[in-house]
Structure 1
Amino acid sequence: MFTKKVDKNNLNASIKIHSSRHTVQFFRFFLYKLPNSGKEFPSEGLRYMYLDSTNRSWSAGMKLINESGGAVQKTLEQLYKLGKSGDVAYVLYNDQSPKSIVNKAVGNEYGHTKGVVLLDRSQGFWLVHSTPHFPPVISEGYSYPHSGIHNGQSFLCVTYPYKEFDSIGEQLILNHPECYESSVPETFETDLPTLFKLVSGGTIDTPPWNRQTDLTSLGGTTFSSFAKGGQFEDDLYAAWVAPTLGSNLLVQFWPNSVGVLPSNCSLPQHVNNIKEISFESHHGNAQATSHSGFSTHVDHSKWCVSDQGAYTWICVGDINRNRGEEHRGGGTVCLNDQEVWKSYRQLVVKYEDCADGCKL
């Protein structure tokens, strides 16, 4: 169902992909970059918690997110090694592109969406994340931006077979992301026309303005991808994800923006805003103990989780609950898994009740 972990110390699940000239290594994980509370070491904002198929409860990463050998660095290392080889296709997109790219201010017509796609002719990965100005362009190599240190950030990396990337391309075209660096060689165009259209600036100009599709990972796990365009003009979670999944949702998003939407209990499936997160029950490693609890005001991650155990959905994405982003593209990728759901659900300490303020 999942990939096999090969390095317990680095907490990296991996598989190898053999192409004609290279061996490409891809990964599959959920990762939570912790905020920097400012109470201890400066490196605190570079620590992360991690789970994968063989370790479905949170564990502290043995590396910092900016260090060689960590889960994100090991994943993106393949991009920096092989990106210019011509044997792979890749797309880097972010509504806040790296600061080294001049004259790249992104208007609201682009999606509020962040991620990386890398594949060869056999398989590849889709990394969905929330970090501004990340990752760097290929010529600069891997680093983690200072702007991503203070607040919490979310990452979901899934390995997919080659055939799924045409559907992923269709999802991304609907999102209309700012693709700040990309390469889709002509050898990929016949099989993956939507990915080629994406990097060529193509858009979708007719409804429907939202699309849900199931994606099957290389290991056979089904993920459900939700993508909306700006013309959808509604909240991703309350108007679509919650009723589609048939589940009440607790949503973590950046609450410091303008026009934040309150918790919504007007529909059969309720959507409640998370207010406080805690890893207290996951303190198997002393590196995480300083994060017994933190406010969502220092958490830039974007994810949601089913409220009750009758539904076991966990979704990681890139869009917030505010009025402005009702009119921007974005999405989320969901997994129905009891153990992963439990790991995320236990993080929620407080959420905003629709009737009477915060609820424990």
Structure 2
Amino acid sequence: MSSFQFAILFLLALEVSAEFNCRNERNEPVDWFAVYKMPIYQDTSANGIKDGLAFYYLDSNDPTTLRPSPNNLNSSQQPIAYTLQQLYDKNGDLSVFSVMYNDEPYEESESAKKRKKRATVQKGHTKGVVFSDQTSGIWLVHSVPAFPPPDHYKYPNSGTIYGQTMLCISFDYSELAKIGTQLYYNHPDIYHSNLPTAMIATNPDLALVIGGKYMKEINHLDCQAQYAVKDAMSIHVGLTGEFSYTKDHTKMARSSQPTKPYVCIGDINRMTSQFSRGGGTLCLLDQNLWQAFDVITTENVCPV
């Protein structure tokens, strides 16, 4: 079994005027935000860093600098919790579309643990949350295992040790079908979902995904691609000291050319042992974001 691995580029509609939006640190709507969670680190550069709960944040209203959040990931008063709370407040509302997927799902039973092991081999290396009404929605792509719970906010202990990344985008409902196509290619392990009947006709790929279907054809890689891929060997974010890639489980890429300032945050795993699995990344073309994510201090050239 093989799955596609591809990146999707979104042209976001600005000034989304509707109920669901990514939320900033004041619980105000923003077009997008990005998070770089720090690994456990023994300093005082950010709230919660010694416990692996500290994160740096920026958003579309102030995209120039990654700043340490005053509240850590255990708090309900920070952008990720604010954003997800919109969905939790709609629990039981069958008019709202939602899907949570993670190759290490939020489950606590023994049967769920067995399902996690099976998913590691059979499904994509994907992690995210999408929810929407028929006006607007949000897509949160991330790299955190066993996150988030389907009915309440809680950051997992399993996500504290290593560095992680998240990207939230707000979108108009007309963009949901594109997200459905991305998920159809990626073969996500879904642990929570609701697709209203009224949304099925305009989101056919999404309906297939919710029904357990996915793209099975093989997409051949272009081995003559003109761009080299380099691996980050060490990282330095904000006021936090430099740390090794062995402490970093982020799924982040940054273009090397300032004339093409792409930053990509996703869930795909580039280890050779994971090449047969699906996964993706969400890329933004933004000069300020590109400069803010200049965090790689040493690198090497990937041999594959």
- Which of the five TM-score ranges fits, normalised by the shorter chain? 0.7 to 0.9
SS in 2 for 1:342: helix
CA deviation digits over 1:97-154, x for unaligned, max 9?
113253322142200000000001101011100000000122xx11000000111110
- For these two proteins, the number of residue pairs brought into alignment is 278
CA deviation digits over 1:171-204, x for unaligned, max 9?
1011000001111121211222222221111122
Highest relative contact order (Cα 8 Å, sep 6+), 1 or 2? 2
- Give the alignment partner of residue 65 of structure 1, picking from 57, 73, 76: 73
Matching of residue 180 in structure 1 with residue 166 in structure 2: no
Partner residue, 1:320:
269
Matching of residue 276 in structure 1 with residue 231 in structure 2: no
Q: Which runs of 5+ in 1 are unaligned?
A: 16-26, 207-230, 241-265, 283-288, 356-360
Partner residue, 2:8:
none
TM-superposed CA distance for 1:340, in Å, is 0.6
- Give the alignment partner of residue 14 of structure 1, picking from 29, 37, 48: 29
TM-superposed CA distance for 1:54, in Å, is 2.0
1:316–1:334 CA contact under 8 A, matched in 2: yes
Partner residue, 1:199:
210
Please show how residues 1-360 of structure 1 align to structure 2 within 5 Å.
2=14, 10=25, 13-14=28-29, 28-38=32-42, 43-44=48-49, 45-56=52-63, 57-101=65-109, 102-103=111-112, 104-105=115-116, 106-138=119-151, 141-206=152-217, 231-232=218-219, 234=221, 239=222, 267-279=225-237, 282=238, 289=239, 291-345=240-294, 347-353=295-301
TM-superposed CA distance for 1:170, in Å, is 1.0
**C-alpha separation between the residues in 1 aligned to 2:302 and 2:100?**
38
Please give the TM-score of this superposition, normalised by the length of structure 1.
Answer: 0.71
Please give the TM-score of this superposition, normalised by the length of structure 2.
Answer: 0.84
Identity of aligned residues (%): 33
Code of the aligned partner of 1:98:
Y
Code of the aligned partner of 2:230:
N
**C-alpha separation between the residues in 1 aligned to 2:40 and 2:246?**
12
1:184–1:196 CA contact under 8 A, matched in 2: yes
CA deviation digits over 1:300-327, x for unaligned, max 9?
1101001131221111111122112210
CA root-mean-square deviation: 2.5
CA deviation digits over 1:9-33, x for unaligned, max 9?
x265516xxxxxxxxxxx6201111
CA deviation digits over 1:52-81, x for unaligned, max 9?
122111111121112111010000001111
Code of the aligned partner of 1:144:
Y
CA deviation digits over 1:238-267, x for unaligned, max 9?
x48xxxxxxxxxxxxxxxxxxxxxxxxx75
1:82–1:88 CA contact under 8 A, matched in 2: yes
**C-alpha separation between the residues in 2 aligned to 1:169 and 1:352?**
35
**Structure-2 change in CA distance of 1:3 and 1:143 (3 Å):** farther
Code of the aligned partner of 2:193:
S
**Structure-2 change in CA distance of 1:46 and 1:354 (3 Å):** closer
Q: Which runs of 5+ in 2 are unaligned?
A: 1-12
1:318–1:330 CA contact under 8 A, matched in 2: yes
**Structure-2 change in CA distance of 1:42 and 1:71 (3 Å):** closer
SS in 2 for 1:74: helix
SS in 2 for 1:174: helix
**C-alpha separation between the residues in 2 aligned to 1:6 and 1:43?**
23
1:274–1:296 CA contact under 8 A, matched in 2: yes
